[in-house]
Chain A
Amino acid sequence: MSRKTRKLKKATPPEPLQEGDNREIVLSVRHLRQYFKSGFGRNKLVIPAVDDINFDIYKGEVFSLVGESGCGKTTTGRTIIKLYQPTGGEVFFLGKRIGGGPFELKEKIREARRETRHKVAELREKMNEDIKEAGDNANRVEAIKKDYQKQMDAAVEEKQKIVDELKEEIRARKKDTADENYKLMKKMQMIFQDPIASLNPRMTVKEIIAEGLRIGGEKKDKVIAQKVNEVLETVGLLPEHASRYPHEFSGGQRQRIGIARALVVSPNFIIADEPISALDVSIQAQVINLLNDLRDEFGITIMFIAHDLSVVEYFSDRIGVMYYGKLVELAPKDELFKNPLHPYTRSLLSAVPLPDPNYEKGRKRVRYNPSMHNYENDLPKLHEIKKNHFVYANNAELEEHKQRLKD
């Protein structure tokens, strides 16, 4: 069978991370990696912006990613919606794989090759010893040689089989990533951070909102106009706003346009990338309330990316905390605020200023120093320490965390 005609194996969605949870999973991310490269030769630098993260998002919930700027939360969102090619790992959306990268498979291939090389070298050494023992007996030497050759061939063949399988998987992931499945992908939409920069200043609001519909093949002007008007009303704007340009609106209204653009194709899942951090205080509440209404009304699942913890606490169901490309803690909201385990989470929580002078006077900031971890021998992993509460730690730290959990 030639490579082109061979049918690639379809990926099956992975097992859920949380056992015993029967809710429908909208999005699952497994071992996702996004590395950025810069420079060449001596100056080459590989930045692991997202490094091996796993999570599931259930239907109808708000999942938040928090962390300081540069920790990779925005990159995660952008990789999920395929604005970037993932370096490694897989992304499953509504049970189908929509993207994947070859990183860990390539590692596996390399490892298999290395192992076989070692194995062959060992066998060769043994063979030489045996030959020496055998001495001048030509027949025996021949037999030994034949025997070892057989073993070596078997090892190489085995390796080749593994490598072929892995290569096939890489090809499958590549194909899934390149696949422009509009019907599936339009179920996932994104709201961007800056409402000024993310709207084309030369298009009217109607054109901006209708763009997604037109790409989807909708050609009837009547239908488009009706849908645009409907969605404008949903986000609290008026139908006559459709003929205006973005600069004629205030910040909060512009962010509503961005939300309307995402909503018009009736998505199941929205990635909201810091939708309120560029807005004024009094406007922020409007946008949060709107997102909350949309969730109640349409049952939309939202992945909310933010660094303002008080907003995250108010708005979300589960929270993932990221630090330099790693997901360090993942828990339901109440659990996370009650039992923050990872030192970074604790430091982040202690840095949130609250509008309460008495509390502020007593607030003590916990500092986080990444060099406090000793990960040399004992490698860290995401452990489920309590039901639905995951923390990134090694075994020694896990014990410590468990003790903290009790009190």
Chain B
Amino acid sequence: MEKGKKLIVEDLTISFRQTQGLVRAVRGVSFELNEGETLAIVGESGSGKSVTSRAIMGILAGNGVIDKGRIIYEDQDLTKISEENFHKIRGNQIGMIFQDPLSSLNPIMRIGKQVTEGMIVNGKRLKNRYKSLIHRSLMEIYNAKYERRDLKETYRREKKDLKQALKAQLQGEKVPEQQQESRLKQGADAQALKKEAAQRLQALSEQFKKDMERNKKRIKDANVAIGPKKVEARKTVKQEWHAKKQETKKELAELRKKLSGADNETKKAVRKEISDTKEQLRRFKKVTKKEAVERALKVMDEVGIPEPRRRLRQYPFQFSGGMRQRIVIAIALTADPDILICDEPTTALDVTIQAQILELINNLKEERNLTVIFITHDLGVVANMADRIAVMYAGKIVEIGTADEVFYDARHPYTWALMSSVPDLTTHERLLSIPGTPPNMLFPPQGDAFADRSQYAMKIDYELEPPMFKISNTHYAATWLLHPKAPKVEMPEILKKRIKTMTEGTGEVTSG
């Protein structure tokens, strides 16, 4: 993995099984996430932006299938790793803030419990220590198992391909010549073909058997190898625990000696020290409730919730919308993630509160050096947050570039349409609305998905899917308009005018 890259998504394809058929929600999305940047994903509802982020978190709905593609985080492919391994990443390393703060909090659980829950569940320190000691051996087993799965898959696929190729060849020879005289020869040809195919099949299956045998041995070896490692790890952890316990016992004994014959003031102090020492011992074993609450208070203070100690005892309904969203952010932050995925965190809020939350996320990003994926359909919010922008339509990224490039030099007709359909504080002419509705992803359109709603559609748009054309090193767009042979088109007048006023720097538009 290249340095400075936090996350790489490659050719991700996701579909949902439904009774009517497969809904192709995401169709080949690729992007990279650099460390410390904010990537905004923009698009209307149903364009697949939320599905992409949910796939990164590994929380796709039950009927969702990742057909193709890889999500690489810290040299691991998140589409392949097991659920147990995902537990370590989800929340701890990649956090998520959901759209609706009301429905993402449990209404009958006090806020305190909801904020501390994650820390307490993940906070069995001795167990975690034990797991980290045997992690390498465990990974070996998992890798061997993944290898088995891959082997099986490739074998099945190759077999199928071979059979299909044979069938095609046989049919292809039968159809053109049906004369009597060639029949014999043809039969001989077919025979030869069949024979050859059978041989190759044989070879394939033998190879597969060999590979499986080797893999079986690998799994067995790994399983055998882990036994002593486990024993050793358990021993180490136990020793550490005992050492800590002994140490604490000694300390306690010393402290207790101080108790006899002391006056009340010192007694009080010493007693407090004793309880602290005991707490330290408990904390060595796991994250105690007290510790979790302390951390929760700190984080709640950080996200700007006044009087956090009183607030801990309250229920979600006692909070306003903005406060609720802050709680959700606090929950995501308690685990100290490096990547934060914000799925439309301000759509349910109104302007003033939205401004507060955006400010908060920006500040947190700077303080904690977070990398953020920000999903929204509000272009104003995007302009505020994003370093880079990816515009999605019908399960594909149609344009990606830095914020300035996308806002001031957009190339895709969909980006134009999206930008000119929202009024800003200087618009006075008729808005350009996008006619029609997004395509039904049960039957993904051929060619450019936006062609039906675009006034710039050419014939090729209905036939062939446009590739990503490079505009600059960071700016790419998928539209045939960028092809050298395409006719020259200009972006809509309204947008041109707006970009002109923007680049001239009309900062006086009521900055208050």
Check A282–B433 contact: CB distance below 8 A: yes
**Bound Cα distance A124, B378 (Å):** 71
Cβ-defined contact, B425 with A354, below 8 A: yes
Is A110's beta carbon under 8 Å from chain B?
no
Task: Tell whether B359 is near chain A: CB-to-CB under 8 Å.
Answer: yes
28 contacts between A and B (CB under 8 A): A250-B437, A280-B44, A281-B378, A281-B379, A281-B422, A284-B422, A285-B422, A285-B433, A289-B430, A309-B351, A310-B425, A314-B427, A314-B428, A349-B510, A351-B351, A354-B383, A354-B425, A355-B380, A355-B383, A355-B424, A357-B386, A357-B407, A358-B502, A359-B506, A359-B511, A360-B384, A362-B511, A365-B359
In the assembled complex, the Cα of A289 lies from the Cα of B354 at a distance in Å of 26
Whether B227 is near chain A, meaning CB under 8 Å from some CB there, is no
- The answer, yes or no, to whether A286 is at the interface (CB within 8 Å) is yes
Chain B residue, CB-CB nearest to A347: B352
- Which residues of B are found within 8 Å of A368, using beta-carbon distances? 352
A307 within 8 A of B: yes
B437 touches A346 (CB 8 A): no
Is A258 among interface residues, defined by CB-CB distance under 8 A? no
Q: Does B305 contact A (CB under 8 A)?
A: no
Which of B355, B407, B505 touches A351 (beta carbons < 8 Å)? B355
Please tell me if B212 contacts chain A, counting CB pairs below 8 Å. no
Interface pair A68/B433, CB less than 8 Å apart: no
Chain B residues near A355 (CB-CB < 8 A): 379-380, 382-383, 407, 419, 422, 424
Tell me if B421 counts as interface (CB < 8 A to partner A).
yes
Q: How far is it, in angstroms, between the C-alpha of A190 and the C-alpha of B417 when the chains are bound? A: 30
Report chain B residues within 8 Å CB of A340: 510, 512
**Interface residue? A353 (CB, 8 A):** yes
Q: Decide if A348 is an interface residue (CB 8 Å cutoff).
A: yes
Q: Least Cβ distance of A320 to chain B in Å?
A: 16
By secondary structure, the A interface counts as helix
Contact mask for chain B residues 396-436; partner A; CB cutoff 8 A; 1 contact, 0 none: 00000001100100000000011101111101101111100
The answer to whether B403 touches A357 (Cβ under 8 A) is: yes
A337 and B321 form a contact (CB under 8 A): no
- Contact status B424-A310, CB under 8 Å: yes
Q: Which 9 A-B pairs have the closest CB atoms?
A: A353-B380, A314-B423, A350-B512, A285-B433, A355-B379, A285-B421, A351-B355, A282-B434, A285-B431
In the complex, per-residue mask of B471-512: 1 if CB is within 8 Å of any chain A CB, else 0: 000000000000000000000000000000011011101111
Does A356 sit at the interface, judged by CB under 8 A? yes
CB of A61 closer than 8 Å to a CB of B: no
CB closest chain-B residue, reference A346: B512
Across the interface, name the chain A residue whose C-beta is closest to B403. Answer: A357
A340 to B425, CA, bound (A): 14
Scan B11-37; emit 1 where CB is below 8 A from any A CB, else 0: 000000000000000000000000000
B442 in the interface, Cβ–Cβ < 8 Å? no
Which residues on the A side are within 8 Å of B455 (C-beta)? none
Partner of B352, one of A68, A289, A358: A68
Most B CB atoms within 10 A — which of A289, A314, A338?
A314
User: Is there contact, CB below 8 Å, between A364 and B424?
Assistant: no
How far in angstroms is the closest Cβ of chain B from A406? 17
Contacts A349-B512, A355-B419, A359-B507 given; does A285 touch B351 at CB 8 Å = no
Quick check: B507 and A285 within 8 Å, CB to CB?
Answer: no
B335 close to chain A: CB less than 8 A: no
Distance (whole angstroms) from the CB of A277 to the closest CB of chain B: 9
Q: Within 8 Å CB of A149, what residues of B? A: none
Residue of B nearest to A365 (CB): B355
Give the number of residues in B that approach A within 8 Å (Cβ atoms): 48
Contact flag A359-B383 (CB < 8 Å), given A348-B351, A350-B511, A365-B355 = yes
Q: Tell me, rounded to whole Å, the shortest Cβ–Cβ distance linking A324 to chain B.
A: 12
Interface SS majority for chain B: loop
How many angstroms between the C-alpha atoms of A353 and B407 in the bound complex? 14
Decide yes or no whether B204 CB sits under 8 A from chain A: no
Q: Is A384's beta carbon under 8 Å from chain B?
A: no
Asked whether, in the complex, the Cβ of B424 is within 8 Å of the Cβ of A356, the reply is: yes
Q: In residues 348-380 of chain A, which contact B (Cβ within 8 Å)?
A: 348-360, 362-366, 368
Separation of A357 and B432 alpha carbons in the complex (Å): 21
CB A222 to nearest CB in B, in angstroms, measures: 33
- A359 close to B509 (CB less than 8 A): yes
Cβ distance B99 to chain A, nearest Cβ, rounded Å: 14
Q: Give the most central of B351, B377, B404, B509: most A CB within 10 Å.
A: B351
Q: Is the CB of A347 within 8 A of B512?
A: yes
B350–A68 contact, CB under 8 A? yes
- Given contacts A292-B430, A352-B380, A356-B502, whether A308 and B510 have CB atoms under 8 Å apart is no
A337 touches B418 (CB 8 A): no
A368 to B356, CA, bound (A): 12
Chain A residues within 8 Å of B, Cβ to Cβ: 68-69, 250, 252, 280-286, 288-289, 292, 307-311, 313-315, 337-338, 340, 346-360, 362-366, 368
The complex places the Cα of A78 from the Cα of B141 at a distance, in Å, of 66
B353 within 8 A of A: yes
Report which of A68, A314, A358, A363 forms a contact with B505, defined as CB distance below 8 A: A358
- Whether B427 contacts A353 by the Cβ 8 Å rule is no
Knowing A284-B421, A310-B422, the reply to whether A353 touches B512 (Cβ < 8 A) is no
**Chain A residues, Cβ within 8 Å of B380:** 310, 352-355, 360
A394 to B1, CA, bound (A): 64
Closest to A344 in B: B352
Q: Is the CB of B433 within 8 A of A286?
A: yes
Task: For residue A363, give the distance in angstroms from its CB to the closest CB of chain B.
Answer: 6
Q: Does B358 contact A (CB under 8 A)?
A: yes
Nearest Cβ on chain B to A243's Cβ, whole angstroms: 20
Cross-interface CB contact of A353 among B378, B419, B432, B434, cutoff 8 Å? B378
A289 touching B431 by the CB < 8 A rule?
Answer: yes
B446 at the interface (CB under 8 A from A): no
Interface contact A69-B321, CB-CB below 8 Å: yes
Question: Which B residues lie within 8 Å of A359 (CB)?
Answer: 383, 502, 506-507, 509, 511
Q: Which residues of B contact A308 (CB under 8 A)?
A: 351
B406 nearest CB neighbor, chain A only: A357
Q: Are B423 and A311 in contact (CB under 8 A)?
A: yes
Give chain B nearest CB distance to A296 CB in angstroms: 11
Evaluate contact between A357 and B355: CB separation under 8 angstroms.
no
For B45, what are the chain A residues with a Cβ–Cβ distance below 8 Å? 280
Q: Please name all residues of chain B whose beta carbon is closer than 8 Å to the beta carbon of A347 when the two chains form the complex.
A: 352, 512
> Contacts of B507 on A, CB cut-off 8 Å?
358-359, 362
Determine the distance from Cα of A340 to Cα of B44 in the docked complex, in whole angstroms.
33
In angstroms, Cα B434 to Cα A363, docked, is 29
Q: A340-B512, A353-B378 in contact; A282/B352 too (CB < 8 A)? A: no
Contacts A349-B512, A352-B351, A355-B407; is A281 near B44 (CB within 8 Å)? yes
Contact residues in B for A350 (Cβ distance below 8 Å): 355, 510-512
B151 within 8 Å of A (CB atoms): no
B381 within 8 A of A: yes
Residue from the set A352, A353, A359, A360 with the largest chain B CB neighbour count within 10 Å: A353
Tell me the bound Cα distance from A69 to B431 in angstroms.
26
Known A281-B377, A363-B384: A351·B427 in contact at CB below 8 Å: no
- Name the one of B358, B407, B432, B512 contacting A356, with C-beta atoms under 8 angstroms: B407
A368 to B506, CA, bound (A): 25
Query: Within the complex, what minimum Cβ distance (angstroms) separates A170 from chain B?
Result: 37
List chain A residues, Cβ under 8 A from B425.
309-310, 313, 337, 352, 354
> Separation in Å of the A116 CB from the closest CB of chain B?
45
In the bound complex, residues from chain A placing their C-beta under 8 Å from that of B430 are 289, 292
Kindly provide the distance from the CB of B264 to the nearest chain A CB, expressed in whole angstroms. Answer: 43
Q: How far does the alpha carbon of A40 sit from the alpha carbon of B473 in the complex, in Å?
A: 67
The answer on a CB contact under 8 Å between A69 and B350 is yes
